Amino acid sequence: MERRDDIKGILFNFSGTIDTEGCEWFDLIWQKYRDSGIPVSKSDYLHAHEYAEAQISERRLIEPGFNLYQMLYTKLALQIEYLIDKGLLSDNVCTRKYPQQLATLCYNRAIMHVRQNELILEQLVEQYRLGIVAQSYGNLPAILVDFGLAPYFTNVIESSAVNLNKPDQAIFKLSVDALHIAPEETLCVSNSLNNDLLPAQGIGCQTAWLNLRPVPPAKRVSNYHITSLTDLNALLYSKSNT
């Protein structure tokens, strides 16, 4: 098969794309709550999530050296603390173990997807410049090192480091410029249509939407639709280039 000659670099979203293969972390953590039999409603979980995010932001609780497990544990400890304080969970030895149990389950799930996707990155990096544009707490480099993924990426742009937030087109322009290629030569890959793909399209990038659910061609907004990162090979190495 022949490589597409109109794409020279690939800009990835990380959270929800490389580490969970298209599943939002909010939904994945809620699923682990259910799998673990934690007796709270999704509404209660939502409020606990919002409380944890506010605390993390106000108190800057995520340190630059935190890997994914440490970040997840910090979030989940705050969530469980909120649920206990609100009387939605009993305060006992079992509930105090929930943050560690949930963080371990989520971290192991991420490792599984990362190891699968690393095989794809190994192939792509031989032919393309790879970058990441992330809405993050400033610890993504530590996460990449922990997972062994840092060598694959030419550049990593974090919202917290550049004082820009998704979906601002400026963070995508900065990320493409860091790859030293033109936007039209860049393929942006993400599970988030609004936060990533539409602003990337706005500066001229091609886009591939990672969506676990099939999307009818008539309803597709991105240039391409993939259901896993393995689909990138079929997209990028195609004789027909369709």
> pLDDT per residue over 133-154, tens digit each?
999 999 999 999 999 999 999 9
Q: What's the whole-number average pLDDT of the chain?
A: 94
Cβ neighbours, 10 Å, residue 2: 9
Position 233 pLDDT exceeds 90? no
Q: Which two tokens stand for residue 80?
A: 């469980």
What tokens were used for 206?
């091609």
Alpha carbon of 233 to those of 3, 119, 124: distances in Å?
9, 11, 8
**Looking at residue 2, what is its pLDDT?**
45
Rg (CA), the chain: 19
Q: Which of 93-107, 188-202, 217-231 has the lowest mean pLDDT?
A: 217-231
pLDDT at 203 over 60: yes
Q: What SS3 class is residue 207?
A: strand
For residue 211, give the nearest of 196, 120, 233, 46 by alpha carbon.
196
pLDDT at residue 212, rounded to an integer: 85
**Predicted pLDDT of residue 214:** 75
Opening angle at CA 142, ends 12 and 183, nearest 5:
25
Task: Please give the pLDDT value at position 216.
Answer: 76
The pLDDT of residue 69: 98
**Which pLDDT score is estimated for 238?**
61
Helices in the chain by DSSP H: which ranges?
A: 25-35, 42-59, 68-85, 93-96, 98-124, 140-147, 159-162, 169-179, 198-202, 231-236
The pLDDT value recorded for residue 53 is: 98
The two structure tokens encoding residue 203? 């500066």
- When pLDDT is cut at 50, 70 and 90, the band that residue 241 belongs to is very low
Give the long-range contacts of residues 70-77, CB within 8 A, separation 24 or more. Answer: 71/137, 71/139, 71/143, 72/29, 72/102, 72/103, 72/106, 72/107, 73/99, 73/100, 73/103, 75/29, 76/29, 76/52, 76/102, 76/103
For 143, list phi and psi in degrees, rounded to 5: -65, -45
Q: Are 40 and 66 in contact (CB under 8 A)?
A: no
Look at residue 3 in the predicted model and tell me its pLDDT. 56
Q: CB of 188 within 8 A of CB of 217?
A: no
pLDDT of residue 213: 82
pLDDT in the model for residue 4: 67
Hey, what are 166's tokens?
A: 């998704």
pLDDT at residue number 76: 98
Distance CA 162, CA 170 (A): 10
**Cα–Cα distance measured from residue 85 to residue 70, given in angstroms and rounded to the nearest whole number:** 22
Mention every residue, 6+ apart, whose C-beta is less than 8 A from residue 18.
12, 113, 114, 117, 149, 229
pLDDT band at 234 (very low <50, low <70, confident <90, very high): confident
